[in-house]
Amino acid sequence: MDSVLNFLFHLTELIRTTRLVEISLWVTDWPFAIWLQSHFYAIPGFQTLHILSIAVLFGSTLMLNLRVLGLSGRDQTLAATFARYQPWIWGALACLVASGIVLLISEPVRNMVNSVFWLKMCALLATVIVSLWFQHAVRSRMELWEVSPAGHASIRAGAVLLIVLWLVVMVGGRWIAYAPN
């Protein structure tokens, strides 16, 4: 555990040597940042939106990926499950990016000069890339799926990997507040 703390601490030290410090101080003076700081309902409101969007995104991901794994919703075709949940996943992600950017602006130094925040962004990028591959792979094998659901090992592995990756992003988000500095 100590080595993780050391790594995060040194990463934050490294971030302190970059222009991110100047940029975060500059964002602090933006009128929108000042507005967010001076209205007591603003930050909790966007945090609530962020958390509700996580519930929609992760709930929809579980419904779709557990169907791919054959663990739930087997009375529905994969095509129907995909059509139902995919728009919710991307819609919730759009809300998360928008509310996340607002949260970032609300406390720029705390978030930008923070190793865990940047690790979360890397994990998010990896998750989006895997999601795009997964979406494409599921769509292109959708017809065959109903005939031979036993195959498709790489898609099943992708379904598990995506659940794990979203968990990593969520833990990263919560952990931003506790980054060692």
List interacting residues with ligand HEM (CB under 6 A).
47, 50-51, 54, 57, 96-97, 100-101, 103-104, 107, 111, 124, 166, 169-170, 173-174, 176-177
| Residue whose CB is less far from ligand HEM, 52 or 142 | 52
Q: Tokens 């940042």 sit at which residue?
A: 33
Find all residues with CB under 8 Å of 28, minimum gap 6, and list them: 108, 109
| Residue whose CB is less far from ligand HEM, 66 or 79 | 66
| Residue whose CB is less far from ligand HEM, 12 or 145 | 12
- Residue 96's Cβ-side half-sphere holds a number of Cα atoms within 13 Å equal to 22
CB of 122 to ligand HEM, least distance (A): 11
| Residue whose CB is less far from ligand HEM, 78 or 104 | 104
CB of 167 to ligand HEM, least distance (A): 9
CB of 101 to ligand HEM, least distance (A): 5
Check residue 152 and give left, alpha or beta (phi > 0: left; psi -120 to 50: alpha).
Answer: left
Name the helix (H) or strand (E) containing 119: helix 115-140
Number of DSSP helices (H) and strands (E) in the chain, helices first = 9, 0
Find all residues with CB under 8 Å of 80, minimum gap 6, and list them: none
| Residue whose CB is less far from ligand HEM, 109 or 170 | 170
Q: Determine how many CB atoms are found less than 10 A away from the CB of residue 18.
A: 11
CB of 169 to ligand HEM, least distance (A): 4
Q: Determine how many CB atoms are found less than 10 A away from the CB of residue 173.
A: 20
CB of 97 to ligand HEM, least distance (A): 4
